[in-house]
Chain A
Amino acid sequence: MGQHTSLYQNHLDAGAKMVDFAGWDMPINYGSQIEEHTQVRTAAGMFDVSHMTVVDVSGKDAEKFLRYLLANDIAKLDECGRALYSAMLNHEGGVIDDLIVYRMSFGYRVVLNCATRQKDLQWLTAISQDFNVIIDEKPELAILAVHGPLAIEKLCETLPEHAERIQQLGNFRGFEDGTWFIARTGYTGEKGIELIFPEGEASELWNKLLAGGTKPVGLGARDTLRLEAGMNLYGHDMDETVSPLAANMGQTIAWDPPGRDFVGKSTLEAAQRLQASGGLPQLVGLVLEQRGVLREGQPVHTDKGEGIITSGSFSPTLKHSIALARIPLDSESCRVDMRGTLTEVRIVKPNFVRFGKKVYE
């Protein structure tokens, strides 16, 4: 038996099909992944992501520590509640994990992937040795993501005491209220809110949202939603062997101010030179408009060389298959080896759907 979040019984009550996810029993769907996906694109859905790792960082050197630890620069977080997406690199410039960091009244809150929890905590602890910081994991916090065009409205009806502040939130901004933290962040390409709060209060909020018409969404739809939004999934689209520059994460590297040193910076500079000479592959989007489904691991042949699909699925919004693939820079034509058959696909920017609509040309 795996670990359970505080919403385990709520999942069973909602008819969830539970699967093992990195040692946790989590809902893959509640009947139909496609219906849940469409629910988020057209109305409002909620995801229990309490299995993710929450770490609070405080102490005198908290800012200095995170500016050294992360490839993006948390000095950009100029007020409490602001959020930043970043890669956490190793000294070789590979991606240990990707994460969200929030500026909090006490310091910073970092939300990391669940499958990488152990190595992430070891890395945080190792790098923190030279800094005066307190690293405090928060397993007692639940995380509920409520996403979709109606998500904010539904949430405000459910939490009238927070409604005014929720409505005022800009994207990538949040606020604290006692033990609750509420932010406009997410992983779906829709508007929405993530709530991080004591797990003992999770079931009550879940049931209230459910009663108000927000439907539960499993990890299956979470994956197709993030893929349509062109968002990377750790362990698939990038890992420790992949430079963030070869994973469409160049925009999340803060090169300025040039005086800031961070873990992996020197190897990243070398990767940047390699990229300028065409020697580093790129992560692109692939579109297959005919029948069939692109899958992770399928080999890709382009006019410039070989590549591989890192994430692929059927897009419930577009009604055909899409994928992320790592292929040689400036490839113009592309064929995928789909179960022995070479099939022509289109190369697009790795961003397929935003706010319910197709966004690539």
Chain B
Amino acid sequence: MSNIPDDLNFASTHEWVRINEDGTATVGISDHAQDALGDIVFVELPEPGSTVIAKNEVAVVESVKAASDIYSPVSGEITTVNEVLIDAPETVNSSPYENGWFYKMTLSDDAELDDLMDADAYSDHCEDE
């Protein structure tokens, strides 16, 4: 059983969103996703300042097994990317919810959060897969 923190929202494509105290969002991929991908060897991150649209490709993860697109769970502007992942992509495997975050962003439409799953719904979603 994979680890699913209950303070996050999840997309069906296995990305998570954390709403920070200042209203910005942090995005990463779930424990279930990193486990399915296997050892991650490269992460291609978006440019800070770029605009992303919910459900569109925003990053690429290359694991020993395959290349996978990462979709932004919400729309907005990228403010910061996690540069640790450039030299230590395995951080996503070891700490998917903390040190292995992908990027931080401002939200352009808070209502999009309602389209995401809570921890319970995401847990069911993983089991159904």
Contact A34 B67 (CB under 8 A): no
Quick one: which of A1-51 are within 8 Å of B by CB?
A: 17, 28-29, 32-34
A28 surroundings in chain B (CB, below 8 A): 38
Interface residue B1 (Cβ < 8 Å from any Cβ of A): no
Chain B interface mostly helix, strand, loop or mixed?
Answer: mixed
A29 surroundings in chain B (CB, below 8 A): 38
Q: Which range contains the number of A residues in contact with the other chain?
A: 10 to 19
With both beta carbons as reference points, the residue of chain B lying nearest to A29 in the complex is identified as B38
- Tell which of A220, A293, A313 has the most Cβ of chain B within 10 Å: A293
Q: Which of B41, B67, B90, B93 contacts A295 (CB 8 A)?
A: B67
Contact A293 B38 (CB under 8 A): no
Cα–Cα, bound, A224→B38 (Å): 13
Cα–Cα, bound, A43→B66 (Å): 27
Contact A220 B64 (CB under 8 A): yes
Quick one: which of B39-55 are within 8 Å of A by CB?
A: 39, 41-42, 44
Binding site for A on B (CB under 8 A): 35, 38-39, 41-42, 44, 60, 62, 64-67, 90, 93
Binding site for B on A (CB under 8 A): 17, 28-29, 32-34, 220, 224, 291-293, 295, 313-314, 316, 339
CB-defined A-B contacts under 8 Å, sample of 28:
A17-B35, A28-B38, A29-B38, A32-B39, A32-B93, A33-B38, A33-B64, A34-B64, A34-B90, A220-B64, A220-B65, A224-B64, A291-B42, A291-B44, A292-B42, A292-B62, A293-B42, A293-B67, A295-B66, A295-B67, A313-B64, A314-B41, A314-B42, A314-B62, A314-B64, A316-B64, A339-B60, A339-B67
20 further A-B contacts with Cβ under 8 Å, apart from A33-B38, A293-B41, A293-B62, are: A17-B35, A28-B38, A29-B38, A32-B39, A32-B93, A33-B39, A33-B64, A34-B39, A34-B41, A34-B90, A220-B38, A220-B64, A224-B64, A292-B42, A293-B67, A295-B67, A313-B64, A314-B62, A316-B64, A339-B60
